Structure 1
Amino acid sequence: MALWTWGANSHGQLGLNTVSEQVEKPSKITIDFYNCEVKQIACGGGHTLLLDEDGRLFSCGWNSKLQLATENESHIFQRTWPLSGITFTNIACGWDFSCGVTDDHFLFVWGSNSHGQLGLPKEHFSECVKPVRLEVKASSVSMGLRHSAIINSKGEVWITGCGKYGQLGLGKDVTSLDRFTQVQNIGKMSHVACGQKHTVAWSTDENALYVWGDNKHGQLVLNTEKYNRIFTPQKIDIDVRQKVKKLLSGWTNVLLWLEDGTLYTWGRNNYGQIGASDSVGQKTLISLPDNRQVKDVALGSEHTICLATDNTLWAWGWNEHSNTGIQSKTDIFLPTLVPIDTKATITSIFAGSAHNFIVTNDDEPVDSESNPDSD
C-alpha cells in the first residue's frame, strides 16, 4: 500500500512532515505509520484523520480546537493515543471538529463546540473539547462548517449545531442546538450530507431527496428567488429511480452518485465545483471524457476528485491551493486528468476542504510518458 497526497498544507495536514501553503502535485507519503492498511480518511479545514483496517485512529494537521484528539499539532500521521483501545468503523470531520463511530455504533466527538456542533451542552463543555462518548448511536455521520448530522439504525436523522440558515431543519425558531435532536416529518433516510449552511438527505425507500437550509446558490435544487432558505425539510422528486451509492456535499454544491455510475451535481459553480461551464443550481449530468465509468468520487469544500474504472483520476473545481492536482493557475471547470507518477492501481480516494489523499496497492513509479492520457 502507498498513500499519496496534495493540496493545501498550511498546518501540515498532508502528513508529509512539512508545512507549506500547498503541495502542487500528488506526492507519496514516505513516513511509515505502523504499516497500517487504510480504511478511511476524513479531512477537515486543516486537519486529517486516518482510520486503519483494525479500527485504529491516526491524525495530523491543525489542532487549535483539539480536533486531532491529541494535545499537540502534528505534521505527520501519529497514533491518536487518547482513543486507543477503541475500535472505530467510521470517521468524519467538520471545519475544526471531528467524530468517530465505534464498532458498537456509539459516537465519540471532539474539537470545537462553539456552536453546539458536537451535541454537547455548551454550559457544561468548553469550546475546545477532548473526546467524549455520547449516549447516541449512529450508523452514518456527516459534519459541515458548524453543524453535524447522524442517521441511526432506524433511518432517523438527528442533528445539532448552528441553524441560522435553516440547516437544522427544525423551523425558523430553532437557530442553534447543543444536543442531537431528531429531524421531524421525514421518512427513513439512507444518506445524509452537511454543507456549509445546508443539509441534504436521501431516502432509498422513496427514491426522494430531502433538503433544508440555505439555497442562495441553488444547492437545494430549488428556485433561488422563490426559496432562499428552507427551515423545514422539503421532499423533492429529482427523477432518480435507482439506488444511490453516495450523496456528498461541498460548502455550496451537492453530488449524487448512482448505482449505474451516473453522476449528478448541482449548486454553486463560481469555481467550477459542479464540473460544468454553467448550469448553476440545476441538476447537471457529469460525464468523464471518452465515456469512462466512475469507480469512486470524493468532494472537498469546493472541488471534486473522481476515480475512473480505467485507473485514471479526474478533478474539477477550486484550484487556488492546487486542490485539484492539476498544474493551472485558474480553477478547473470540466473534468480534467490529474497527472500521477505511478502505474499502481488506485484503490480509494478521499478529499477535504482543500486537500486530498489517494491509496494505491503499491508504490512502483513510472515515467509519466507511459500514460497515454498524460498529455
Structure 2
Amino acid sequence: MFATKRLRNATLAAGRRHTVGLQTDGTVTAVGDHKFGSCNVSDWCHIVAVAAGNVHMARNTGNAHTVGLKSDGTVTAVGWNRHGQCDVSDWRDIVAVAAGWCRTIGVKSDGTVVAAGRNNEGECDVGGWHDIAAVAAGDWHTVGLKWDGTVTAAGNNKYRQCNVSGWHGMVAVSAGYLHTVGLKMDGTVAASGGNKHGQCNVSDWRDIAAVAAGSYHTVGLKSDGTVIAVGLNRHGQCNVKDWRDIRAVAAGCAHTLGLKSDGTVVAAGNNEDGQCAVSGWSCIQQ
C-alpha cells in the first residue's frame, strides 16, 4: 500500500497565530496568540500527534484551536469552539488528526473518517470515506489520502482545490487556504487550486520528502534536509533556503517551521503574536 511508506504522526503544527510542538515525553508546548485558549496545552500528556487549526490571514482574529491525538486513540482539543470543532472527547480508535478553520478531522484505524465543526461548504462530508491513511484540512476543504495512493476531497472547490481525483502514487497531502499539495512516491510534487501567488508552482521540485501548505505558500522538505518554498513571501515565510538538517516542516497562515534532527525548531515569517518564538525549544519529537 503506497501510503504506508512515509506516513508518520505530526509532531509540529502551525496555526494562524500559534505554533504547537510535541515533546519527546509526550507532553506539548505552544507559543503565540491564545485569546481563546489555543495554547492551553501544558497539562496534556501521552500525546502522539498534534494539529493546529489555521485561519486565512484576511480573518484578523485569534479564533484558532489545537488538537492532540493521545496514545490510546482518543482526542483532546482546546481553543475556539464556536462551531463545535473541539467537541472530540467521545472519539475513539483514532490514528491521525487534522485541524482546519472551524473543524477537526480524525482518521480511524479502520480507514474511516470522522469530523466535527463547521460544514457550510461540505468540508465535513467525509462520512462515506474509507481506506483513508491520512487527512489534511484547508480553510474550506478537506483532503483524504487513501491507502492505495489516490486522493479524495470534499468541500469548496471554487479554485479547483478539490480536483485531485486523478492523483496517484501519493504518500502525503497538505491543504492550504485555496490549494492542495500532494507528495508523490518518486519525490515529485503535485498541486491544484488557487495560484495567485505561485503557491502551486511545484512541478519542477525533485527529491522531496515532505510538504506543507500555508495560506498562500507551499513548503517542501528535500531528502538532503534542505527546504524550498514558493508563494507569497510578504512576511518572509518563504525565506528558508539557508535551513539545513531539517527533518520535518509545517506551514501556518504566514509562517513556516522546521524541525531539526537535534529536536530544535527554526521559524520564518510572521511573528506578530510570537508564533515564531521557538528558539528555546529543544525536545521536539522527530
Short-chain TM bin? 0.7 to 0.9
Q: CA deviation at 1:316?
A: 0.4
The amino acid that maps onto 1:90 is: A
| 1:319 maps to 2:233 | yes
Q: CA deviation at 1:346?
A: 2.3
Distance 2:24 2:162 in 1: 35
SS of the residue corresponding to residue 11 of structure 2 reads strand
Distance 1:135 1:298 in 2: 26
Counterpart among 119, 122, 143 of residue 166 in structure 1: 122
Deviations 1:46-80 (A, max 9, x none): 011111122121111100110011xxxxxxxxxx4
Asked whether the equivalents of residues 315 and 324 of structure 1 are also in contact (C-alpha less than 8 Å), the reply is: yes
Deviations 1:313-367 (A, max 9, x none): 2110121211111xxxxxxxxxxxx442x7x52232222121122233469xxxx
| 1:154 maps to 2:110 | yes
Asked whether the equivalents of residues 76 and 86 of structure 2 are also in contact (C-alpha less than 8 Å), the reply is: no
Residue 61 to residue 293, structure 1, CA distance change in 2 (3 Å)? same
Cα RMSD after superposing both structures: 2.1
Distance 1:167 1:320 in 2: 28
How much identity, in percent, do the aligned residues show?
27
Q: CA deviation at 1:81?
A: 3.0
Residue 48 to residue 269, structure 1, CA distance change in 2 (3 Å)? same
| Matching residue of 1:209 | 151
Q: CA deviation at 1:212?
A: 1.6
Distance 1:275 1:247 in 2: 16
| Matching residue of 1:287 | 204
Size of the aligned set, in residue pairs, is 245
| Matching residue of 2:184 | 258
SS of the residue corresponding to residue 272 of structure 1 reads coil
Asked whether the equivalents of residues 117 and 162 of structure 1 are also in contact (C-alpha less than 8 Å), the reply is: yes
Distance 1:320 1:90 in 2: 30
SS of the residue corresponding to residue 81 of structure 1 reads coil
Distance 2:91 2:156 in 1: 30
Distance 2:79 2:237 in 1: 24
Asked whether the equivalents of residues 165 and 197 of structure 1 are also in contact (C-alpha less than 8 Å), the reply is: yes
Asked whether the equivalents of residues 108 and 134 of structure 1 are also in contact (C-alpha less than 8 Å), the reply is: no
Distance 2:80 2:199 in 1: 27
Distance 2:245 2:195 in 1: 31
Counterpart among 2, 24, 31 of residue 53 in structure 1: 24
Q: CA deviation at 1:135?
A: 4.2
Distance 2:84 2:35 in 1: 17
Distance 2:204 2:66 in 1: 33
Asked whether the equivalents of residues 140 and 177 of structure 2 are also in contact (C-alpha less than 8 Å), the reply is: yes
Residue 293 to residue 118, structure 1, CA distance change in 2 (3 Å)? same
Distance 1:139 1:358 in 2: 23
| 1:109 maps to 2:51 | no
Task: Summarize the alignment of residues 1-375 of structure 1 with structure 2, pairs less than 5 Å apart.
Answer: 40-69=11-40, 80-83=41-44, 86-95=45-54, 96-119=64-87, 133-169=89-125, 183-205=126-148, 207-221=149-163, 236=165, 238=166, 240=168, 242=169, 244-275=170-201, 286-288=203-205, 292-325=206-239, 338-340=240-242, 344-361=244-261
Residue 106 to residue 315, structure 1, CA distance change in 2 (3 Å)? same
Normalized per residue, the structure richer in strand is 1
Asked whether the equivalents of residues 95 and 108 of structure 2 are also in contact (C-alpha less than 8 Å), the reply is: yes
Asked whether the equivalents of residues 27 and 42 of structure 2 are also in contact (C-alpha less than 8 Å), the reply is: no
Q: TM-score, normalised by structure 1?
A: 0.61
Distance 2:187 2:260 in 1: 21
| Rg larger for | 1
The amino acid that maps onto 2:224 is: D
SS of the residue corresponding to residue 35 of structure 2 reads coil
Q: CA deviation at 1:300?
A: 1.6
Distance 2:254 2:123 in 1: 23
The amino acid that maps onto 1:307 is: L
The amino acid that maps onto 2:133 is: S
Asked whether the equivalents of residues 212 and 218 of structure 2 are also in contact (C-alpha less than 8 Å), the reply is: yes
Asked whether the equivalents of residues 219 and 267 of structure 1 are also in contact (C-alpha less than 8 Å), the reply is: yes
Q: CA deviation at 1:113?
A: 0.6
SS of the residue corresponding to residue 151 of structure 1 reads strand
Residue 347 to residue 97, structure 1, CA distance change in 2 (3 Å)? same
SS of the residue corresponding to residue 43 of structure 2 reads helix
